[in-house]
A and B are shown apart, each in its own frame.
Chain A
C-alpha cells in the first residue's frame, strides 16, 4: 500500500504536468526576486545567501502543499484508498514522503547551482545542504498536516500559510543557524543540526497521526 501510493504519486508528478518542476521553478524565481531586490552587491549576497535559500525553500514548500491531497480528493481516489487501507497512517506517510521526494529533494539538488548565483562561499555549501536535508522532511510533514486539515476547502492557500507558519518557525530558525555557522562554528552547527533533526523526527512520529485524525474528521 505504502509503496504503491508512493510509486503512483511519483509517476504522476514526473509524467503528469510536472508538479515537481513547478515548485523548482518557483524556488528559482523566489531567489531571483530576492537577488534583484537586494542588488548586485556580491559581498552582501554572500552574507544573506543561506537565509535566502532557506526562506525560498520554505515558500516553495508552502506553494506546493495544495497538491498533496487536493487532486486525490477531487477524483475520489482518496476516499477509495482510505476505505481500502487498514493503516491510514501509512497512506498519510506515503503522501508526505512523496511530497518530500518531489519537492524537498529537487530543491536540495538545485541548491548548489542557485547558491553559486547567490555567491555563497564554497565552504558554506555542505552545511547548507545538510541543514536542508535535515529540515525539509519536517516542512513536508507539517505541510501534509496542514493539507489534511484544509482538505475540503478550496483555495485554502492563505489559511494554509497561517496554519503552517508557526510550525515552520523553529525549522527556519535552526536551518538558517546551521547553514550560517557551518565551517567556522562547529559546536553551534552541530547543535542546530541536532535540533533540526530532532524536530523532523518529532514531526515524523506525531504529525502523520494528527493528519489521520484530521482526514477522518474531514471525510465523515
Chain B
C-alpha cells in the first residue's frame, strides 16, 4: 500500500491520523524506548518471581518453572495470529496503509513465539512425559499454526508488488483464521482416537497465586516485547518501502518528491 491516505486534520484523534506514516514514525520513535524498558522490567521481575520466589511443584519439581517462559509464548502465538487477522481485515476493508505493514511484520514475530512455544514445550516434555514430542492434539495444532505462519511469510516473499501481496496475504490469513478452530477440533478428535489424553490434562489443578503472579507478569512482559518488536519492525518496513520508492524514482529532483511519499 504505497499511496498515502490524506490525514483528516479536523479529526485530530482519529485513527486516520496514524495513516500518515511519517507521523506514525515520529510517534513510534518516541515510544519505542519506553516500551522496551517496560518489557525488560517486566521480564526481569517475572523471571525473578518465577525462578526464585515461586514454589516448586510437588510433582514436577523445578521443571515447572519452564511454564513461565512456555505458556506466555503459546499465548502470544495465538495472539499474534489474531492481530495479523484483524490487521489484515482492516487493511483489506479500510485500506489503512499501516494495517498491512502491521500484519506483515507481525508474522515473523508470531512465528518466532510459536517456535519458542514448541521448543520450550519440547524441553518441558522430555522430563515430564519422557519424550521430546508427542502427537498430542495441542502440540499438533500449534505445529500446524507454525506452518500457517510460514505460508503467510512465504507468500509475502514470493510477491514483489506490496499492495498485491497485502491483499492476497489478507485473504490467506483470514482463511487460516477460520480454519484454526476446525484444525483444533479435528486434531482433538484424531488424538482422542489414537491415544488417551493422559499426558496433558486440559484443566490442570487450580494454580496457587504464587505461581499465577509470575505467569501473568511474564505474559505482560511478552506482550510488551511484542509491541516493542512490532513498532521497530514497522518502522523498518516503512523505511524499507520509502527506500524502495526512492531507488525506483528517476534521478534528479524526483528524489526529493519521493521522500514525501511512503
Contact = CB atoms under 8 A, between A and B. Distances in A.
B193 A166 contact: no
A217 B164 contact: yes
Q: Is the interface of A mostly helix, strand, loop or mixed?
A: helix
A167 B175 contact: yes
A214 B190 contact: no
Interface in B97-134: none
The main secondary structure of chain B at its interface with chain A is helix
A145 interface: yes
B158 interface: yes
B179 interface: yes
Interface in A110-162: 145, 149-150, 152-153, 156, 158-159, 162
Contact of A159 (B148, B158, B178): B158
B154 interface: yes
Interface residues of A, number: 29
Given A149-B155, A156-B158, A218-B168, A167 B150 contact: no
A98 interface: no
Contacts of A158: 154
A170 to B, nearest CB: 4
Interface residues of B, number: 28
B179 A167 contact: yes
A207 B176 CA distance: 12
B183 to A, nearest CB: 5
Nearest to B178: A206
B67 interface: no
B34 interface: no
Given A149-B171, A214-B168, A218-B168, A159 B151 contact: yes
Contact of B150 (A162, A170, A207): A162
